[in-house]
Amino acid sequence: MLDAALFDTITKFPIDIQPFKDMIDGMRTDLKKARYKNFDELYMYCYYVAGTVGLMSVPVMGIAPESKATAESVYGAALALGLANQLTNILRDVGEDARRGRIYLPQDELAEAGLSDEDIFKGVVTEKWRKFMKRQIKRARMFFEEAEQGVTELRKESRWPVWASMLLYRQILDEIEANDYNNFTKRAYVGKAKKVLALPVAYGKSLLLPYSLRNNQT
C-alpha cells in the first residue's frame, strides 16, 4: 500500500529520485558513524536525513503561481527548513543519543568550548555547556530564518501546515532554554496549549502575500 501511494505521488508530481537516494544513504550513515568532526560533516548528515524531505516536498506543495521567487530560492529555503528541524532534533535529543553512544554535536566546537565526549556522557549542565548550547541554538534559528521567506512562496493551501510545523519546532529551542539547557535528562517539548495557540498564528502567516511580491511592492 505504501508503494502504491508513493507511485501515485511521483506520477502526479515532478519529484526527482535523487533526494530519495540521498535519504537512504543518510540512514545508512547511522549504522557506521556516531561522531562528526565539524559542522561541515554534520551539515551533510542533516541534508541526507532531513534536507532531502524539504526537496521532496516542494514539488507536492507547489510554488504559488503569483510568486516572483526563483525555484532555486524556494528549494534552498526548503532545504534550510529541513536542516533547521534536524539540528533542533539533535539539540533536543543530546541525552537520549548519548545513552545510545551517539554524539551528533561537532567535535571541534565541543573542544573549543572546553568540552569532551565524557562531559556529554556525564550529562552535567555547566557554564561551558550553556555557552556551547547558546551557539548551537543560534545557528539552528539562523536556518529557520532562512526558511521563512521560502514558505511564503508556496501555494496558499500548502503554507499553513508548513508554518505550523516551523513555529512548533522553533518552540522546542525555546523549551531547551527554559530547561536551563538541560537536554541531558529533560526532554524539551511543546505543550498542547502552546500547540493550539500556534495554529491561528500559523494560519495568519499563511495568508500573507509571497515575500517576493511584498518585496516588489516596497
Average of pLDDT values for 88-98? 97
Q: In which band, very low, low, confident or very high, does the pLDDT at 208 lie, cut at 50, 70 and 90?
A: confident
Q: In which band, very low, low, confident or very high, does the pLDDT at 216 lie, cut at 50, 70 and 90?
A: low
Residue 215 has pLDDT above 80, yes or no: no
Q: Residues 37-53: pLDDT tens digits?
A: 999 999 999 999 999 99
Domain boundaries, the chain: 17-217
36: β partners: 106
Please give the Cα distance from 218 to 215 (Å, whole number).
6
Backbone angles phi, psi at 70, to 5 degrees: -75, 150
C-alpha cell at 173: 529551542
Please give the Cα distance from 115 to 39 (Å, whole number).
16
CB atoms within 10 A of CB 63: 20
Residue 25 has what DSSP assignment? H
Question: For the domain with range 17-217, which CATH number is right: 1.10.600.10, 1.10.540.10, 3.10.310.30, 1.10.260.40?
Answer: 1.10.600.10
Residue 218 has pLDDT above 70, yes or no: no
Q: Residues 154-207: pLDDT tens digits?
A: 999 999 999 999 999 999 999 999 999 999 999 999 999 999 999 999 999 999
Whole-angstrom CA distances from 53 to 23, 152, 156, 172, 176 are 8, 18, 20, 20, 24
